[in-house]
Amino acid sequence: MSGNRGNGMFLDFVGNRRWFYLFSLIVLLPGAISLIIPPRLTLGIDFEGGTEFSVRFQEPVSQGDLQDALADLDHPEARVQGAGGNQFFVRLEELKGAGSGPPVGPAPASERDEIEDALAERFGPLLDGEGNDTGRFIESSTISESISREIARSATIAVAVATAAIFFYLWWSFRAVPDSFRFGAAAAIALVHDVILVVGIFSILGKTIGTEINKEFIAAILTVIGFSVHDSIVVFDRVRETIERGEGRTFAEAVNSSLLQTIARSLNTSLTLAVAILALMLMGGESIREFLWAMLIGTVAGTYSSIFIAAQVLVSWEEGDIPRFFRRIFGRGEPGEEEEYEPEPEAVVAET
């Protein structure tokens, strides 16, 4: 990396790649440990099934009082979350519908109707989103357990297919470069890095403050994957151009030169997206809060991984860092190390 020494060591990204790997390991480790400890994730209604509703009261009601009222209505498992303005989000087991009644005549009251009436009797009028007394929830949704299992399966397949498709696409796109499959593999490793980081953080948040995973979270993960790949492609394309122009005496120098040329663009793009996400957070949007947090964390992770993981993996692969690491772990020196540091005098004389 002598070609970049004049710019200062702090610009020698490739030469300091081991520190970036160590930093990533430190950041990923807490989330990975949390994912091992049950419950790995706090699943929302989309993946676990149940009923979720939003209710607003005219009179002041505390979160604890609402929790006690739902427990009295045979729903001690209910999770209550304040949304401000005397409004609450509630998640509980699947409520029973009207059930099977006679073919004619009025249908029997559903469990939702019973809860609405009981809460109105206990705490006063229930309001809609505009503050009108309707005696009903603002909104409510129910997903059965079988549907939630199908959603979870489809979400897992979607993430796996997206990762595999990206790998093969990059392999094909960089087919003119020797060992082009390395570009696809490096991008896939960066994607796994980003997904583990986001999911790990949400695992910790789920255990500490009850943050749930829902279908909007999966949409955020897929968006983060696309953003991360876009950033990696920009870097990889510049690496290909640098190699074709013959800039840099080694592959590592070519990658470092490409990073120096693209880092400003990557940071500016990420900063613009982060500002937009923060603006949405400030405007409210409780229903997409998990989506926005996942997007913000994923944006930061995607920018970091495209520069400090994907590009560095290419260099580590080219320079044999991984085999060298395992040789050190298992106590085997690199070929020729003994001869280099402890040459035998007889052999030197004979050679002379």
Residue 344 lies in a domain: no
User: Other C-beta atoms within 10 Å of 279: how many?
Assistant: 10
Torsion of CA 169, 174, 175, 179, to 10 degrees: -110
Residue 328 lies in a domain: no
Please identify, among 124, 143, 162, the residue that sits at the C-terminal boundary of a domain. Answer: 143
| 8 Å CB contact between 308 and 20 | yes
The per-residue DSSP string of 3-41 comes to GGGGG-GGG-TGGGHHHHHHHHHHHHHHHHHHHHSSS-S
| CATH number reported for the structural domain that contains residue 289 in this entry | 1.20.1640.10
Provide the domain limits for residue 115. 50-143
User: Do 138 and 159 belong to one domain?
Assistant: no
Residue 305 lies in a domain: yes
pLDDT for 141-180, tens place per residue? 888 777 777 877 887 888 888 888 888 888 888 887 778 8
Rounded Cα distance, 90 and 77, in Å: 10
More confident residue, 65 or 148: 65
- The pTM of the full predicted model, rounded to 2 decimals, is 0.74
Residue 165 lies in a domain: yes
Q: How many CA atoms lie within 13 A of 55 on its CB side?
A: 32
pLDDT bucket at 77, cuts 50 / 70 / 90: confident
pLDDT at 304: 92
User: Do 160 and 171 belong to one domain?
Assistant: yes
| 8 Å CB contact between 302 and 192 | no
Residue 94 lies in a domain: yes
Please identify, among 118, 143, 168, the residue that sits at the C-terminal boundary of a domain. Answer: 143
User: Do 58 and 7 belong to one domain?
Assistant: no
| CA distances, 28 to each of 161, 284, 304, 305 (Å) | 23, 29, 13, 12
User: Do 117 and 237 belong to one domain?
Assistant: no
User: Do 86 and 219 belong to one domain?
Assistant: no
Express as a percent the part of the chain with pLDDT over 70: 84
pLDDT for 199-254, tens place per residue? 999 999 999 988 888 888 888 888 888 888 888 888 888 888 887 777 556 888 88
The per-residue DSSP string of 137-149 comes to -SEEEEE-HHHHH
User: Do 14 and 80 belong to one domain?
Assistant: no
Residue 192 lies in a domain: yes
More confident residue, 26 or 244: 26
Please identify, among 121, 143, 165, the residue that sits at the C-terminal boundary of a domain. Answer: 143
User: Do 87 and 226 belong to one domain?
Assistant: no
Residue 61 lies in a domain: yes
User: Do 84 and 195 belong to one domain?
Assistant: no
User: Do 187 and 236 belong to one domain?
Assistant: yes
| 8 Å CB contact between 269 and 231 | yes
For residue 216, give every residue at least 6 positions away whose Cβ sits within 8 Å of its Cβ, in sequence order, or none.
Answer: 288, 290, 291
pLDDT at 108: 56
Q: How many residues can be counted in the chain?
A: 352
Quote the radius of gyration of the chain (alpha carbons, Å).
28
Residue 332 lies in a domain: no
User: Do 24 and 80 belong to one domain?
Assistant: no
User: Do 279 and 250 belong to one domain?
Assistant: yes
As given in the structure block, the two tokens for residue 261 are: 């040329």
pLDDT bucket at 296, cuts 50 / 70 / 90: very high
Nearest to 135 by CA among 52, 51, 56, 53: 56
Q: Identify the helix (H) or strand (E) that includes residue 281.
A: helix 251-282
The mean per-residue pLDDT over the stretch 318-326 comes to 77
| 8 Å CB contact between 121 and 57 | no
For residue 229, give every residue at least 6 positions away whose Cβ sits within 8 Å of its Cβ, in sequence order, or none.
Answer: 166, 170, 187, 191
User: Do 164 and 139 belong to one domain?
Assistant: no
Query: Structurally, how many domains does the chain consist of?
Result: 2
| CATH number reported for the structural domain that contains residue 55 in this entry | 3.30.70
